[in-house]
Amino acid sequence: MARSIARRPSGGWHRARDVLAAASAAGAAAVSSRRVAASGNAWASLSAARSVPAWRSALGARGSSSSTLSLNRSRGPLSPAASPFGLSALGFGLGAAALRSSRFKARGAALNMCRRALATDQAHARLVTDEVLKAASDPHAYRVLELENGLQVMLASDPTADSSAAAMSINAGTFQDPDERPGLAHFHEHMLFLGTEKYPGEDDYNRFLSEHGGNSNAFTMSENTCYYFKVASPHLEGALDRFAQFFVAPTFNPSCVEREMNAVDSESTNYSTDDGWRLMQVLKASADGKHPFSRFDVGNLDTLGANDLDVTRERLLEWNRTHYQGSAMRLVVVGKESLEELESTIVKQFGPVRGGSGQALKYSTKPWPESQLGRVTRCVPLKDARSISACWPLPPQSEQLFSKPELYMAHMLGHEGQGSLHDVLNQLGWVDSLSAGGSHAFSDEQLFAVNISLTPEGDAHRQEVLALLFEYVKLVVDAGPDEAVYHELKALQEISFAHKEDSPAPDDFAASAAMALFKYPAKEALRGPYALDEWRPEVVSQYLSSLTPERCLIFLTSDAFRADSEAADAAAKGWKRETWYKAPYQVEQLTAEQLAGWNDLLKNSLEGEPSGLQLPLPNRFVPQDFSLRSGPGAATGRDISKLPMEVTSPTPLINEPMLRLWHKTDKAFKTPREYVLAHVHTGAYEMGPETVLMMRLFCGVVADDLNAWAYDAATAGLGYSLDFSDNLAMSVGGFSDKLPELLEVVTKRLGEVLVAAEEAAAAQKAAGGSEGALGERGEELLEKLETQRQILLQDYKNFTREEPYSVGMYYSSQLMLRNTWHLQEYIEVLEKSPDLGMLVVAVRKALSEIQVEMLVHGNADAEEAKAIGRTICDALKHLGAGTTLPELRRKEVTKLPVGSTTIFEYDLAAQNPAQENCCTQNIYEVGPTNVDLHRDGCVSLLCHMASVSAYDRLRTKEQLGYIVQSSAWVESHVCGLQVLIQGSRMPPKEVDVRIEEWLASFGKELEEMPEEEFQNNVKAVISERTQRYSRLVQETTRHWSEIQPRRYNFERLAEATKALDKICREDVLALFREHLALGAPQRRKLSVRVLGTSAGENGRTDPHTSEGVVLRSLEDIRAFQPQTESYPSQPPAEMPQVSA
C-alpha cells in the first residue's frame, strides 16, 4: 500500500517569509501541548515567525479551555481561534488602550470614596496558605490570603523582578448573560476600562501603564472573566490602585456606552468573516437551546440594545452588582516587594471590593444531552478547508482534577507514532494534521474532540476516515486502561513541572494562576494543572466506553458541500444558515446503515488488507539525565546574570568558509535544556520560485517522513524545525539528554530521503518514465510530494480569504522589499505536479553553494557544540554542498519618494465578496536602523507614545474599527511608524484623512507634553528593553538576533539603551517635524488600502489624485520600484577571531 504525507511544510504560509528574511526569527518559547502544526516541530520558539492561517491551527491534545473571547490589542491584531473544536478560542479584550472620558457625578463619587476609605482602615486578611507547591527553579515566595470580603488573593514575591503584574478572575462570564441582552458580559468587560470614580478619565488606567512600561488586556469566557496587566516593578502600587477601582467603583459612563457598543459590534463584524468564529456558532447550534452555551455571546448593536441605551446601562450596573462580589473573585499579584508589603497594599486597595458570593453557576440542562447526540453536521467554510471533528461530551474536569482521564484519552487518540490513527491516515495520504483533547470545559460538562484536518484526497474519502477513526477508538477502548501509559504520562507531567521555567510575561502567569485558583485548592494552584497523582482505571474505562458513534457529534467541514448548500432544493434537504454569522450547515442523525457503509468503503480502499492500526509504543525520548554541564557553584558576575545589559556573549568556536559556529554554556538559568540554531545561506531564492518551492516541499516531505518517529520526542519536550523561507533554517531544542539522538536522526534522514528520491527517479528514467519502476519507497515519496503540493497550493489560494490587514501587510512588504516572489508565481508553479527528479535536481542545485551560521546555547560544552556543528555540515554535504557561497543575499528596501504619498489599493471584495471590512495601513518611512542609535531611539520613543494617542482617538473616540494599531514599522533593516486600521465604517481613502488629522494632533501633543510625562515614557521604553530574562530561550533569541544577520555586536542593546536615555523631547519633535508632519522635508509615506464590500463603488481612490502615485497590481509595483531609490542592507561584519 503506498504511503503519503499529512503535514504542511514548515508551518503553512510563507507569504510573509517571501518578503521578509527569516532573520532573527525568534519568539517566546512555545512548545505545543501536543505538537506544533509545522514541520515536525515540537519546539516553535525559535522557528521563523510566520502567519499561519487560522483555519489551519490544530487542536492541542492536552488541557482544555472554555469558549473564550479576546483580542490582544496591546500586542497587535491576532487571528481568531482556528477551530471551534480546538483548545482555545479568541476572547474580547481591551489591551493597552488609551481612553478618555468626561467626569460626572463627582460629588457622589467623592462621598462613596470616603465611605470605602473608612472601610479599608478596618480591613484584614486571613492566611489560607503560605506553602504553595512550586517548581524548584521558581524564584517566587508565595502566600494565599482571603480578605474579609471573601476575595482570595495569591501573592508572589521576587525581589529581582523587573516587571510586576496582577490579574483578577471573576467567576462569571457569557453564560450569565441576561436572556434579553446576549453579549452583555463581554460588553461589561469592555466598559470596565472606561473610567472609575477615583480615576474617571477613560485613559487614566492605560496611560499610566503605558508611561510605566506596562500594558493590559482582558478576556471573557463562558464562566469566567479575567483582567490582567503588567507594569515596571517600581510602579506596581500605582497600577494596583487604578486596577482595584475596576472592582470597587466603575462608572459605566453614559457617554461611553454607545461608543463602546459600536466597538463590540465592529468586533462581531470581524468575526463574521472568520471560519473559526462562524463554525463556533454552528457548534453552539448543536447544543440544547436551554443551555447558555447555545446562545450568541459576542454581542452587537441589536442584542445589546442600541435603541435603549439607558436600559442597557442599567443592565450593566445590575450585572456588575450581581456577579462582581468578593467570594466570586480570585486575585494574583506578582511583585518585587516582600510578601508583607504586598499584603498591606492589597488589603488597603482591594478591601473595599463588594462582599458576597456572586451567583451560583446552575443550568437546567447539560449542553449536549443524549437526545442531541449521534448527529452529523456538514458545514461550508469561507476558505478552501477540509476537516472532521468528532466530539463527545464527558463529565466536567472538576470531578477528576488529579487523575485527568481526558489526558490519557488525548495521549492515546492523538498519538502520531507508528500504527497510530494519524500514521495510518498519513500512509493513505488522507490527513494534514490530527489532534485530540479537551475542546470546551464548563462546570457541568466538557467536550472531548478528535480533530482531523484533511488533504484533498482525504476529503474525497472522509467516510473511510470516519470508519478508521471509530476502528481506532474501539481498539483503544477494547485494550482498556494501561497503567504503564499512566506512569509514562505522569513522568512527563512531573518533568514538565519540575523543570518549568519562569513565565516571560508575568501578566500571563498571573492570569493563568488566577484562573487555577478557581479550579484547584490554593496549595495546588501552580502544580495542579500538571498533577497526575491518581491512577483511576475505572474512571478511564468509564470515559473510554462513552466514545461510541451513537454518542458522537460529527462535524464535517468542506468546500465540497457548497454546491449542495446553494442548490434550489437545499432547504428541503435540511440546509440552513446559522443565525448570527450565516455559515451554511446541515444536520442529520447518524444511523447504523451509515456506519456500515463507511466500513464497507474502508474495506474497498484497503483492498481487504488490515488497517495496520496499533496502540502507542513506550516513549524512548523521556529524558533521564538532568545533570548540568556548567557544574555546581563557581560562576559569578556576568556569567550568571539574566539582565540583558549584562549577559555574556557567545564564544566563536569555528570560523571556516562554510561554517561559523558560536557557543555558550548556560550558567545563569541552570536548566537541562539546549538550543541549536542553524541558518544555511544559499543562492536558492535567486534561482526562481520553482527552486524555492522545491526546497519547501523537500522540507515538508522530510518532516513527514520523520513524523511517526519524532512525535515521541515532541511529547517529551524535545523537537526540531526544518524550514525554507528565503534560506534554509534548521533548529533543534529542548531537554539536552536525548537531543544528540534526535539531531542525528534528523540529519541522516535529510540525506536518506534525497538519495532514495534520486535512486527512484533514476530507475524511472531508465524504465522510460514508468511510475511502476519507482519502487515502494519511491512511490511513497512521490505521494508525499504530491500531498505537500496540494497542501501548499490550498494555503496559497486561501490568501484572499485572509483578514484584510493580513492581505495589506503582505502587499506592503511586496512593495517595500525588492526582488521578492509573489504568491501567484508560486501558485502557477504548484499547479503543475512536480516529480522526484525535479525535486532532487532543485535541492542539490540550491544547496551546492552554502554558508552556515550556527549557535549552540544551553546545557552543552564546547566540544559537544563542535560535534553538533560537524554533524550538520556533514549532512549538508551529503545533500550536495560542495563549495562556499561566494556572496550572501543582500536585501534592498524601497526608498519611498519624498514629499508625496505612494498608494497601493487592492480590491479584496472582488476576490472575496464575503469580506465586509476594509483595511488602511499607513507607513511613514524614516530610514535604516542600527546606523544612528540616537535616531533609532527617537523612533522607538515616538512610536511608543503614538500607540496610546492613536488608539484613544481613532478607536475609542472615532470608532474607525475594532482593530486599531499604531506601532513601529520595520522592513528588514529600515524603520518608521505605521498606523493600521481595519473596519467597515468608511473606505480607506477617508480613513487616511482621519489618520492624518490624528497625526497633526499628535504633533501638538508632543509639543505640549509635560517634561515629567515625557521622561516617564523614556523610562517605560527602557524598562521594556531591559527586563530580566526569565527563560533560557529569551537569551538565545537575543544572541541569535546578532548572529543570524552577521552583525555580531552583542553590546548593541546596551549602546541603544544609553542613547535612548539621553533623548530629550526636542529630539523627538525634531524627528516628527523632519519625517512625519504634513509637509515635512523628508516625509516618505506609503498608504496601503484594502477594499472590502463596505467601501462601495465610491470607495476607490481617484487614479489621478494629487496625493501621489496609485498602484493596484503586482505589475504596478514592479514597474514602480525601478523608478525609486533603495536602501541596501549593511555588509556583514567580520567574525571575531576564534580562540585556540
**CA nearest neighbour of 1112 among 903, 912, 968:** 903
Average pLDDT of the chain, as a whole number:
88
Query: Is the Cα torsion angle 276, 282, 283, 285 positive or negative in sign?
Result: positive
Q: What is the DSSP letter of 196?
A: B
9-17+35-52+624-884 under CATH 3.30.1370.10, yes or no: no
Backbone angles phi, psi at 731, to 5 degrees: -150, 150
Query: pLDDT tens digits, residue range 433-458?
Result: 999 999 999 999 999 999 999 999 99
3-class SS string, 1054-1076: HHHHHHHHCCCHHHHHHHHHHHH
Q: What confidence category does residue 504 fall into, taking pLDDT thresholds of 50, 70 and 90?
A: confident
pLDDT above 80 for 112: no
Q: In what order do the strands lie in the sheet with 329-335?
A: 68-69, 215-221, 225-232, 163-170, 329-335, 152-157, 141-147, 125-129
Provide the whole-model pTM. 0.87
| E strand spans, 361-462 | 375-379, 386-394, 431-441, 446-454
Q: For the segment 659-675, what is each residue's pLDDT rounded down to a tens digit?
A: 999 999 999 999 999 99
Rounded CA-CA distance 695/1040 in Å is 23
pLDDT number for residue 11: 28
Instruction: Give yes or no for residue 14 having a pLDDT over 90.
Output: no
Q: Report CA Rg, the chain.
A: 29
Q: What percent of the chain has pLDDT over 70?
A: 89
Q: If pLDDT is split at 50, 70 and 90, which confidence band does 633 have? A: low
Cα–Cα distance measured from residue 755 to residue 698, given in angstroms and rounded to the nearest whole number: 12
111-120, 897-906, 973-982: least confident range: 111-120
43 pLDDT more than 50:
no
Count, residues in the chain: 1140
Q: Determine the topology of domain 892-1128 in CATH.
A: Cytochrome Bc1 Complex; Chain A, domain 1 (3.30.830)
Q: Where are the beta strands (DSSP E) in 859-962?
A: 883-884, 892-895, 901-907, 918-928
CATH for 370-602 is 3.30.830.10
Which pLDDT value is given to residue 608? 84
Q: How confident is the model at residue 772 (pLDDT cuts 50, 70, 90)?
A: confident
Tell whether the torsion through CA atoms of 592, 598, 604 and 607 is positive or negative.
negative
Where in the sequence of the chain do the CATH 3.30.830.10 domains occur?
9-17+35-52+624-884, 106-270+281-350, 370-602, 892-1128
Crossing angle for the helix pair 862-878 and 739-766, to the nearest 10 degrees:
10
Confidence band (pLDDT; 50, 70, 90) for 1129? confident
Q: Can you list the positions of beta strands (E) in 593-699?
A: 651-655, 659-665, 673-681
Q: How many CA atoms lie within 13 A of 634 on its CB side?
A: 8
**Of 165, 183, 164, nearest to 173 (Cα)?**
183
The domain made up of 106-270+281-350 is a member of CATH 3.30.465.10: no
Cβ atoms within 10 Å, residue 886: 9
